[in-house]
Amino acid sequence: MAANWGDKGATLTHQTAQKEFGLSETEIFDAIRAGTLQYRETSIHGNPALRLLRREVETFVRKARGAAGFRKQKVAHELAQVQKELRSLKRKMRVLEKRKAQLLSPAAAKT
């Protein structure tokens, strides 16, 4: 199968792979040296990074940790993202509730 470097969501940086799949930088570099992972050098906001193909990283993690380990890591990452989004929505809700209270106050009604 040909590498689809330009497809949306087909690549991720090595830093994202570390966070999302619980990989160490050493594991990623060893896999690159072994030819298991392809990479392209890139720069994000002036900082060097390696672009990796997501499907290759997923295959690598499945082989290294097994299917159960892969699923466990994927669920843990998704749970963390959901919790982060919930915290963000709660903050937005507090701001909106405060604004609503200001608009409904008697002082706001007089102006």
Strands, sheet with 47-53, edge to edge from the N-terminal-most edge strand = 11-13, 47-53, 39-44
Q: Is residue 29 part of a domain?
A: yes
Q: What is the amino acid identity at position 102?
A: Q
What range defines the domain where residue 25 resides? 11-110
Question: pTM of the prediction?
Answer: 0.74
Q: What is the pLDDT of residues 17-48, one digit of tens each?
A: 999 999 999 999 999 999 999 999 999 999 99
Q: For the chain, what is the domain count?
A: 1
